[in-house]
Homo-oligomer: A and B are copies of this chain.
Amino acid sequence: MVNGIKPIAAKSMAERVEASLREYFTKENFKPGDPLPTELELAAALGVSRNVVREALSRFKMLGIIETKKKTGMVISNPDIVGTFEKVLNPEIMDESTLKDLFELRLVLEMGIADLLFLRKTEADLDELEEIAAREVKDKNFRISTEIAFHGKLYEMTGNDTMKRFQNLLLPIFGYVMKLENKKFVSGKVTHQDLVKILRKGTVKEFKEGMLSHLQPHFDRLKQLK
């Protein structure tokens, strides 16, 4: 077996141009709004066809790192990281171990937002949350949608838009993993209504314990697996 030897340039031109451009952007310290050379200039500078350059640029456009206008040219812009995440987060084509990891990540987030919640909660938020929890008790049929609504509202209350959107993306993962394991959504001893109550009048510590108890079935399952 041949060891310590690797292919010279297995990667495609577009891939290499992407890497070169990325390096160029950081080296030149590009900031949002800064104009880029034209496609032809880049092609000439890199010694490749305009076609290849465009394939690489197309990638940056997808990430939101580059924006273009005709005649004006291209400029750097700040990418939408959550939006990008969305583009790869397809449960159908994800390997199982990653799915499991993301499922756990969701649990970790859920357990970790307590401090932010107590830092930023408002009366209006609590009222709305309470209303969601109350609605849930009436409509036995729509447990999943209210489940989503409740936890979604929690993330919203953190005042962290990125986290809220991120959690939203993880929702299908959550559902998918549950389906894979043929499990039903089961809540622990602490209900949503209990959580609201703690959030309103209790302490951070109590809330953390409450949330753990609420998610206990999920943690129990993890314990079984290992």
Contacts and interface: CB of A to CB of B under 8 A. Distances in A.
Interface in A95-122: 95, 97-98, 101-102, 104-105, 107-116, 119-120
B102 A78 contact: no
Contact of A59 (B15, B62, B116, B160): B62
A113 B106 CA distance: 11
This chain: how many copies in the complex?
2
Given A31-B93, A59-B62, A98-B81, A108 B161 contact: no
B84 A162 contact: no
Contact of A108 (B14, B94, B163): B163
Chain A binding surface SS class: helix
Nearest to A98: B162
A81 B166 CA distance: 13
A101 B222 contact: no
Contacts of A205: 209
A65 B93 contact: yes
A164 to B, nearest CB: 9
Nearest to A68: B12
Interface string A59-97: 101111100000000001111010011011110111101
A219 B158 CA distance: 13
14 contacts: A30-B93, A31-B93, A55-B55, A77-B93, A81-B89, A81-B102, A98-B162, A102-B162, A107-B116, A108-B112, A109-B112, A112-B112, A119-B223, A119-B226
Interface pairs A-B: 4 shortest CB-CB = A112-B112, A101-B162, A108-B112, A111-B112
